[in-house]
Chains A and B, each alone.
Chain A
Amino acid sequence: MTTLRTATLRLFERLRDESGDDEGRFVVAPASMEEAAGLLDVAAAEGLTVRFRGGGTHSGIGNPVTADLVITTSRLSSIIDWSPGDLTAVVGAGLTVDELEATLAEHRQTAVLPETAPGATVGGILSAGMSGYRRLRHGPTRDRVLQVTMATGYGSVVTGGSLVVKSSTGYGVPRLAVGSLGSLGMIGVVALRLLSRPLASATVAVADAPAALSEVYRPIAVLETSEGSFCYLAGTEEQLAAQTAGLAADGVPGLAWPEPIDHPIRLSVRVPPAAVPETVSLVRELDPVRWVAEHGVGVVTVGFEELEDSLFGDLRSWAVSRTGSVVVLEGADFIGDGVDPWGKPPSSIEIQRRIKDSFDPSGICNPGILPGGL
């Protein structure tokens, strides 16, 4: 261990990331999982707190974290293995979603990662637990993560899951890693299940989103937004023609997703799908700049220039009364002092705490970022 520590201390010098200095902090970019684990091992021994950075596009999520050290995945950013015939790909966490999707498109495949801001990395998306609008049809991102390799808070390289499309072999470590926001360690390598891109797709403006959801057979997405309601379809030309025939309006070819919501305050309201229509009316009363409601999924993303503390509180209480939550994705400070981005911790907080403690016994990985300050 001592030799590893010495070597790692040397790495600290060598691995300074050229790609940018994060508010003047010490930024390092390991080039292998062993290096990442070595860094965490040293950090744990020295009591240095660590933040992980991918593309930095989701860094507003969770409780604010101050860290002594920033570890980036910028050097773990290649496509390690892509087997089009298996519809699986293994990639470095630092690979950007855009780059991955552009490559996969060569074989008409997709990882169905969220339609997100440019620069977002695969590791960042996974660790933030983000799913895209196609979730209605294709399920959340977590269902397509087959295998994850992490460098843990105790300085080990750990792989969970299997590189096959179906497995019941040991615990679902990848499912634990997805959405863990770097609180257990660094996600370095991931294996994803891919899908074929549809031959044709269409975006159809609809008057009544809930009606479209119940009438159309398995649309890709049904969105109600500040700019109108849309039903998204994919399949073959014949299929689309038949499906759009059932809707009042004609579609435009392609999936025209809403522009990303980019305002100082960004909320994710998560409710049972049946409660989306009611959530939409409540959200509208709060005078947001823009919003997108995912029917059938239960996520309403809302952007505000400003939002009064008490109105935010009312929205949150309402969501909680429907067994949901309101998560502040960006701008908790703009709502008010001491606004908790997560709200009340889940009933399983004791188990959550023990998980955190066993993967990050020294409490150095993104300390406090999760609900309940884990």
Chain B
Amino acid sequence: MDPAAELIDLLGASLVHTHPVDRLIYAKDSGVASGDPAIVVLPGSTEEVAAAVRIGVAAGMPIVARGAGTGLAGGAVPPPGSLLLVLTRMNEIHEVDEIGRTAWVGPGLVNLDLSEALADRGLEFAPDPASQQSSTIGGNVATNAGGPHCLAEGTTVAHILGVEMVTADGRIVILGGEAPDEPGYDLRGLIVGSEGTLGIVTRVLVRLIQRPPEIATMLIVFDDIHTAAQTVSDVIAAGLVPAALEMMDQPMIESVENFAHVGLPTDAAAVLIAEVVGTAEGTAVEAGEIREIADRNGAREIRTAATDEERALLWKGRKNAFGSIAQSAPDYYLSDTVVPRTRFVEVLDEIYAIAERDGLRLMNVFHAGDGNFHPLVSFDASEPGMTERVIGASHDMVLAAVAAGGTLSGEHGIGLEKRDLMHLVFTPQDLDAQARIRDAFDPEASLNPGKVLPDGARLSERPGR
């Protein structure tokens, strides 16, 4: 029987799409690459995912999982002829344990919906990617997503205690769980960040944290981007761990302000958003120390949000950074690299130099406290040769980060975008070890083939073995 017919038997015709228009809708994520799925399905349960995987594998189709498609690395781009599993219908909050501070949720649950549902219980899910209004927990798990508040709390991996997933042979396994330290290998830890290549996540056990009794949010304004960056380094080196420490440069401030009207000083060279949380006493001390460091570095102005509304406004500015770009240019290319925090200023200069060299319009919004860069180039792809130029410059920015001891991605993942750059940070032996992991989960390479690891990553067995 043909797989589409089998899938219609399984899910009903309304949840199985093969029409070219539907396929086009799902051909891309939010990055630049595109593909072409043969069949798009929207399963509603773990069993349906397992059955769909079995049908797809039996038909020899590559299987690709997709959440909201906000990924920027091409991780959810379906290769031609693939079966795409869109998991957005699996968006339940199955159960919440308030004492243990955990919840089992569906992979299709939107990140922000989770924290909002928990607010009245005084709990929250710490990872807060800027895309949190649309990206899914499953996508967050698969990319090990980060967010402003991951500076103090760690990225997604620190907040995932267990997953239920469907394996490449269509079986259901549970990795990790409410009880800590499940005996055996920490396969949970491998699934986080695996970009849909090791299994399809069908339920997620998330760790929840107490909402802080007190939050102090500051906007610190600088006339020189170097002193802003130096302030970040000094805060980290002083051993302070603010809940968030974000930075925007002048072009980004201007773009955000024109879009969101939150009262940012558009003439400033850079602003920092620093947030400290905890008890009233603790936040007062930490905020004071940050202010002192900023003053020492010549900050022009320090505004402290006096009300929740003012705080929300500051964050609205930061979280609309990417959304604001659409008004200034038809296209943008957003890159993601990380460097050791002591090298931040130096790499920042190199990134600006690259953009200037290539005559590109560069804006920056950074998870500065983590050394995580998001250089963003806005451009018009209809200009001949422009896309190539932008990608070339972004590539050079990655090289600059790697040369400073950094790595390819802090939170967006490798996907297709950086697959062929993996050799910059890993030896052939390192990549071979990763390919062994992949083979152990998915010997036939059915799940999201062509992502993360470059072709030929698995070295042939050594002669004589």
Asked whether any CB of chain A lies closer than 8 Å to the CB of B439, the reply is yes
B434 and A169 form a contact (CB under 8 A) = no
- Which residues 425-450 of B have a CB within 8 angstroms of A? 425-427, 429-434, 436-441, 443
A238 vs B146: C-alpha distance when bound (angstroms): 31
Task: State whether the Cβ of A16 lies closer than 8 Å to any Cβ in chain B.
Answer: no
> In whole angstroms, how far apart are the Cα atoms of A374 and B187 in the complex?
15
Given A139-B154, A272-B100: A85 and B213 within 8 A (CB)? no
Choose the segment among B32-40, B333-341, B385-393 that binds chain A (4+ C-beta atoms closer than 8 Å). Answer: B333-341
Give every chain A residue within 8 A of B279 (Cβ-Cβ).
217, 235, 239, 242-243
Cβ-defined contact, A159 with B407, below 8 A: no
Q: Considering the complex, give the chain A residue whose CB is closest to the CB of B175.
A: A348
Inter-chain contact A323/B414, CB cutoff 8 Å: no
Residues A139-154 near B (CB distance < 8 A): 139-140, 142-143, 152, 154
Does any Cβ of B come within 8 Å of A178's Cβ? yes
The interface centre, meaning the residue of A129, A345, A351 with most chain B CB atoms within 10 A of its CB, is: A351
- Across the interface, A162 reaches (CB within 8 A) one of B174, B233, B425, namely B425
Q: Given the complex, which residues of A lie within 8 Å of B405, measured CB to CB?
A: 163-164
Determine if A298 is an interface residue (Cβ-Cβ < 8 Å): yes
- Bitwise, A342-374 to B at CB < 8 A (1) or not (0) is 110111110110110111010000000011101
Question: Which residues 277-328 of A sit at the B interface, judged by CB distance below 8 A?
Answer: 296-299, 319, 322-325, 327
Contact B97 A358 (CB under 8 A): no
Q: Which residues of A contact B462 (CB under 8 A)?
A: 1, 154
Instruction: Tell me, in angstroms, the Cα distance from A137 to B314 when the chains sit together.
Output: 28
- Measured in the bound complex, the distance between the Cα atoms of B452 and A245 in whole Å is 52
Q: A273-B100, A348-B184 are in contact. Are A239 and B179 (CB under 8 A)?
A: no
- Report the separation of the CA atoms of residues A270 and B161 in the bound assembly, to the nearest whole angstrom: 13
Point out the residue from A195, A243, A355 that lies within 8 Å of B440, measured CB to CB.
A355
| Max count, chain B CB within 10 A of own CB: residue among A109, A217, A268, A322 | A217
Interface-lining segment among B189-197, B267-275, B375-383 = B189-197
Is B21 an interface residue when CB atoms closer than 8 A count as contact? no
Among A196, A241, A268, the most chain B Cβ lie within 10 Å of the Cβ of A196
A159 contacts across to B, CB distance below 8 A: 426-427, 430
Q: Considering the chains assembled together, what is the distance between the CA atoms of A174 and B286 in angstroms? A: 32
Per-position contact with B for A42-84: 1 when CB-CB < 8 Å, else 0? 0000000000000000000000000000000000000000011
Give Cα distance in the complex from A173 to B413, angstroms.
Answer: 15
- What distance in Å separates the Cβ of B81 from its nearest Cβ neighbour in chain A? 26
Whole-angstrom distance between the Cβ of B29 and the nearest chain A Cβ: 15
Which residues of B from 400 to 419 have beta carbons under 8 Å from A?
405-414, 418
- A229 on interface, CB distance cutoff 8 Å: no
| A343 with B440, Cβ < 8 A, contacts A272-B178, A273-B99, A273-B101 known | no
Shortest distance from the beta carbon of A237 to any chain B beta carbon, whole Å: 9
A274 interface contact, C-beta 8 A: yes
- Interface pair A172/B411, CB less than 8 Å apart: no
Which of B237, B418, B443 is most buried by chain A, counting CB atoms within 10 A of its CB?
Answer: B237
Q: B414 to chain A: closest CB distance in Å?
A: 6
The chain B residue sitting closest to A271, CB to CB, is B179
Q: Tell me which of A143, A160, A167, A297 contacts B410 (CB under 8 A).
A: A167
**Is B167 close to A, CB under 8 A?**
yes
Instruction: Flag if B440 contacts A157 (CB, 8 Å).
Output: no
Nearest residue (CB) in B for A270 is B179
Could you say which residues of chain B place their CB within 8 Å of the CB of A297? 180
Q: Does B181 contact A (CB under 8 A)?
A: yes
B236 touches A85 (CB 8 A): yes
* Complex Cα–Cα for A198 and B238 (A): 12
Q: Does A32 contact B (CB under 8 A)?
A: no
Q: Interface with A: B108-116, B221-229, B247-255, B366-374, which one?
A: B366-374
* Chain B residues within 8 Å of chain A by Cβ, number: 96
Residue contact A143 to B158, C-beta cutoff 8 Å: yes
Q: Does A261 contact B (CB under 8 A)?
A: no
> How far does the Cβ of A341 sit from chain B's closest Cβ, in whole Å?
9
- Known interface pairs A160-B430, A166-B372, A168-B155; A345-B452 also in contact (CB < 8 Å): no
Q: Per a CB cutoff under 8 Å, which of B99, B101, B157, B433 touches A156? A: B433
Complex: chain B residue closest to A355, CB-CB? B440
Tell whether, in the assembled complex, residue B180 and residue A299 are in contact, meaning their CB atoms are under 8 Å apart. Answer: yes
Least Cβ distance of A47 to chain B in Å? 12
B30 within 8 A of A: no
Answer yes or no: B12 CB below 8 A from chain A CBs: no
Is B173 at the interface (CB under 8 A from chain A)?
Answer: yes
A158-B429, A172-B190, A196-B241 given; A166·B282 CB < 8 A: no
Contact A176 B173 (CB under 8 A): no
A202 to B164, CA, bound (A): 40
For residue A132, CB closer than 8 A to chain B, the reply is: no
Judge whether A264 is part of the interface by a CB distance below 8 angstroms.
no
B233 touches A85 (CB 8 A): yes
The interface residues of chain A lying within 8 Å CB-to-CB of B154 are: 139, 143
**When chains A and B are docked, how far (Å) is the Cα of A87 from the Cα of B97?**
34
Of B185, B210, B412, which contacts A176 at CB under 8 A? B185
User: Interface readout for B85-110 with A: 1 if CB under 8 Å, 0 if not?
Assistant: 00000000000010111100000000
A157 to B429, CA, bound (A): 7
Q: Is A114 an interface residue (CB 8 A)?
A: no
B187 close to A168 (CB less than 8 A): no
**Of all chain B residues, which has the CB nearest A183?**
B185
Contact in complex: B406, A179 (CB < 8 Å): no
Taken together as a complex, chains A and B put the C-alpha atoms of A337 and B312 apart, in Å, by 62
Is residue A86 contacting chain B, with contact meaning CB distance below 8 A? yes
Contact of B181 among A129, A217, A218 (CB under 8 A): A129
Q: Does B150 contact A (CB under 8 A)?
A: yes
Docked pose: A195 CA to B240 CA in angstroms: 9
Nearest-neighbor residue (CB-CB) of B211 within chain A = A217
Cβ-based interface call for B357 (8 A) = no
In the complex, how many angstroms separate the beta carbon of B94 from the nearest chain A beta carbon?
A: 14
Q: Is the CB of B179 within 8 A of A324?
A: yes
Find out whether the CB atom of A218 lies under 8 angstroms from the CB atom of B185: no
Q: Does B3 contact A (CB under 8 A)?
A: no
Known: A165-B371, A169-B425, A323-B178. A358 touches B187 (CB 8 A): no
Question: Measured between alpha carbons, how far is A169 from B190 in the docked complex, in Å?
Answer: 12
Contact of A87 among B143, B236, B429 (CB under 8 A): B236
Interface core residue of B179, B282, B430, B441 (most chain A CB under 10 Å): B179
**CB < 8 Å: which of B192, B284, B430 contacts A172?**
B192
With most chain B CB atoms within 10 A of its CB, the pick from A236, A271, A345 is: A236
Other A-B pairs beyond A175-B190, A272-B100, 7, CB < 8 Å = A143-B158, A171-B193, A172-B194, A235-B282, A238-B285, A343-B183, A348-B187
Could you jot down 25 A-B contacts, CB within 8 Å?
A143-B158, A156-B432, A158-B433, A164-B405, A164-B410, A165-B370, A166-B370, A166-B371, A167-B338, A168-B409, A171-B193, A173-B433, A176-B437, A195-B239, A270-B180, A272-B97, A272-B179, A298-B100, A298-B180, A324-B179, A325-B179, A346-B184, A352-B187, A354-B443, A370-B184
In order of increasing CB-CB distance, the 9 nearest A-B pairs are: A196-B239, A175-B189, A272-B178, A324-B179, A162-B407, A354-B440, A358-B436, A274-B99, A274-B100
